[in-house]
Structure 1
Amino acid sequence: MTIALLVAVVLLAFVTAFCTGFHDASSAVSTTISTRSLRESTALNLAAVLNLLGALIGMLIVPLSVGWAVSLLGLGPIIAASADTPDLIGIALVLMLLATLAWEIITWWYGTPSSTWHAFLGAALGASAALGAFEAWLPVIGLLALATLLGPLMGMLLSIAGMRGLLALGRTERLRVGHLRFAQTVSACAVATGHGLSDSRLPYALVVLACQAAGFPLADSLWLLAPIAVAIAAGTLMGGHRIIRTIGRRLTSLNSAQGFVAECTSALLMALAVVGFQVPISSSHTLASSVVGAGAAIGPRHVRWTVAAKIVGFWIATPIVTCVITAMGMRIVLGAL
């Protein structure tokens, strides 16, 4: 890979980290903002610090290696298909990142929480198809479909169960609003830290893989990873207000109890996804579905189902759109080579 392609991939990885901050990570505190448990500026500052902390923790506990990066990003078929043309992997990474960022901006504009991971995996599928390595992705397609279904379903069911348990506890008068607001702040901190840990892995892996493809030793490339953590925190400070409004106000009218349950459910599923299931369960999917579940536990009329249906439509479209965009871009590049 040429130096120009390396620079392009690294810069786009930084931009992806920044967009992840305002697109995904700021939504971690959307419920605390909507329930007025924290002021918006306080919540965003807290989320930015904790996202930075989570991303830095990720640098210490994630096995930063080329093998890990290839496996995480699912780029084995692309690397095998482009072995004779080293620059092709760099071009593929650039196109995949551009498609992912384009979808991030579109979904942000419409105020829809969506998965950066699913967008990137869809883009990787498109690049693989253009290179004739589609068959190797068939198991991944099944895994992606399972994650799209499993994450929201588990989030909704666990949130319903948790909300009903909390309502039963509330009837004993042992749980008061002040307790719930404090608990919601703690749970929001856990979600924000989990976001930083989970969402930093994608740009980390991209930088590691690009540096290796360009011939730079991994030990000399690690200094590029710390700015990624800073970029996620900076993006979080931007707020992502459109998505915050959707999760915190448009899906259902949240109270502190609902916000606490939704955030606890999301934090639990993120932890399971990272260290347990090893499947691409989206934090955005689980948080939004947990909010729906918290509203549905009180009564179906408390959920705005048309908004929820629109969000699900975007979730289904995410890997399809990025797959098509990247495949078209790769076809153009291959035709020009």
Structure 2
Amino acid sequence: MSVPDTGLVALAGLAIVLAYVNGLHDASNAVSTSIATRTLSERAALAMAAVLNLLGALLGIGLLAWTVPVALGLLGVSTEGAGPASPVRVVLGAAVVATIVWDLVTWWRGMPSSTWHAMYGATAGAALVLGLPVPWAGEVVLVVASIIVSPLLGGVIAFALVVVLGRLTSRWGLRTRHLRVAQTVSAGAVAAGHGLHDSRLPMAVLAVAVATGSPHPSTAWWYVLAVAVAVALAAGTFAGGHRIIRTLATRLTDLSTAQGLAAETAAAAVLYATTIGVGAPISTSHTVTAGIVSSGMAVNHRAVRWPVAGRIVVTWVLTPCVAGLLGALGALVLGAL
């Protein structure tokens, strides 16, 4: 097994840290509604989410064939000059650091945001500073579509499910214990889908780092690092982003078991449809948040705490912009080293 170069070690370390922070930041996606409705205790919910995130990420290793063009396209970086001596590594290093910083800032403030959008903004800012071309058309479409389409779909599905579940409960005597079993399953589906979906981001960074290594590292290095990313994602999830969990579980609206089930089922449906069916990266945070808001609206629009929802939307819009500035600053610093 060949010894990896310093650049590979640095990028691999950043990718693993990114996976951990992503798990910490997005643990709320799978467990917040289950905790809010007392379907699961917080510790049990986080443990279940961590295990299923790990399984989803490991499944992603086996299902996804990583190549440099695919990884660069997923990250929003041009494939121009992707060799060992190219500035692509500097761009990715700056972008990953910027994304980690923004994730930690939004976690500290208890605001659910998109790690994908932060990465797209950060790579664009870093690439501009270093004079690399930025695929603006593709990035803008992905970000705008994710901000609008996935929350809209998740919201519509969640609203409809609350109405349907309400009728089933009144007509067929569907009990809360039945809904709690279903909600546990839906929470597990979101957790596994998150592992499959969001593990692609740090693994794409690894794919570029390994492929541009000098000397070119063996395939064994890829699998060792990929498994490390999956474990880091699960560890971050188990640590739990308690601040964001509180925002989604208690500050947006008061959730019943039926509403929690509807929000998670909607998020899982959109997540799997886009990841497997379309292959496009979306924000699970956006989709879950929209599902929670819509499930509250299905009961009474006054049940939603709109000032909190407004601050969340502002955070969504700021994410690629602020991350872009952070990425540009990081590229300037790394480029000067």
TM over 0.5: yes
8 Å contact from structure 1 (residues 194, 267) kept in 2:
yes
1:259 aligns with 2:290: no
Q: Give the Å deviation of 1:310.
A: 0.3
In structure 2, relative to structure 1, the CA distance for the partners of 1:64 and 1:11 (3 Å cut) is same
Structure 1, residues 214-258: CA drift from partner, whole Å, max 9, x if none? 122445422211111111111111111101111111110011100
Q: Which residue does the alignment assign to 1:317?
A: 318
Q: Which residue does the alignment assign to 1:107?
A: 106
Structure 1, residues 162-218: CA drift from partner, whole Å, max 9, x if none? 111111222204311111111111111111111111111111111111011112244
Q: Give the Å deviation of 1:6.
A: 1.3
8 Å contact from structure 1 (residues 247, 291) kept in 2:
yes
Count residues in correspondence.
332
Structure 1, residues 11-30: CA drift from partner, whole Å, max 9, x if none? 11111111111111343111
Q: Which residue does the alignment assign to 1:147?
A: 146
Q: Which residue does the alignment assign to 1:328?
A: 329
Q: Which residue does the alignment assign to 2:186?
A: 187
Structure 2 matches for 1:154-303, cutoff 5 A? 154-214=153-213, 215-303=216-304
Looking at structure 2, the residues matched to 223 and 332 of structure 1 have their Cα atoms a distance apart, in angstroms, of 30
Looking at structure 2, the residues matched to 25 and 275 of structure 1 have their Cα atoms a distance apart, in angstroms, of 21
Q: Which residue does the alignment assign to 1:44?
A: 46
Unaligned runs of 5+ in 2: none
Indicate the percent of aligned positions where both proteins have the same amino acid.
Answer: 44
Q: 2:39 is paired with a residue of what secondary structure? A: coil
Structure 2 matches for 1:90-129, cutoff 5 A? 90-129=89-128
Q: What is the identity, as a one-letter code, of the residue corresponding to 2:289?
A: A
Q: Name which of 73, 76, 79 aligns with 1:71.
A: 73
Q: Name which of 17, 29, 32 aligns with 2:31.
A: 29
Q: Which residue does the alignment assign to 1:80?
A: 80
Q: 2:325 is paired with a residue of what secondary structure? A: helix
8 Å contact from structure 2 (residues 121, 324) kept in 1:
yes
Q: What is the identity, as a one-letter code, of the residue corresponding to 1:152?
A: P
Looking at structure 1, the residues matched to 225 and 334 of structure 2 have their Cα atoms a distance apart, in angstroms, of 28
Looking at structure 2, the residues matched to 318 and 264 of structure 1 have their Cα atoms a distance apart, in angstroms, of 26
Looking at structure 1, the residues matched to 89 and 170 of structure 2 have their Cα atoms a distance apart, in angstroms, of 59
TM-score, normalization: structure 1? 0.93
Q: What is the identity, as a one-letter code, of the residue corresponding to 1:42?
A: A
Looking at structure 1, the residues matched to 261 and 315 of structure 2 have their Cα atoms a distance apart, in angstroms, of 26
Q: Give the Å deviation of 1:332.
A: 4.7
RMSD: 1.8
Looking at structure 1, the residues matched to 152 and 27 of structure 2 have their Cα atoms a distance apart, in angstroms, of 21
Q: Which residue does the alignment assign to 2:63?
A: 61
Q: What is the identity, as a one-letter code, of the residue corresponding to 1:60?
A: G
Q: 2:18 is paired with a residue of what secondary structure? A: helix
Which is further off, 215-224 or 270-279? 215-224
Looking at structure 2, the residues matched to 66 and 82 of structure 1 have their Cα atoms a distance apart, in angstroms, of 8
Q: What is the identity, as a one-letter code, of the residue corresponding to 1:157?
A: V
Q: Give the Å deviation of 1:40.
A: 1.2
Q: 1:294 is paired with a residue of what secondary structure? A: helix
8 Å contact from structure 2 (residues 11, 206) kept in 1:
yes
TM-score, normalization: structure 2? 0.93
Looking at structure 2, the residues matched to 333 and 31 of structure 1 have their Cα atoms a distance apart, in angstroms, of 41
Q: What is the identity, as a one-letter code, of the residue corresponding to 2:42?
A: E
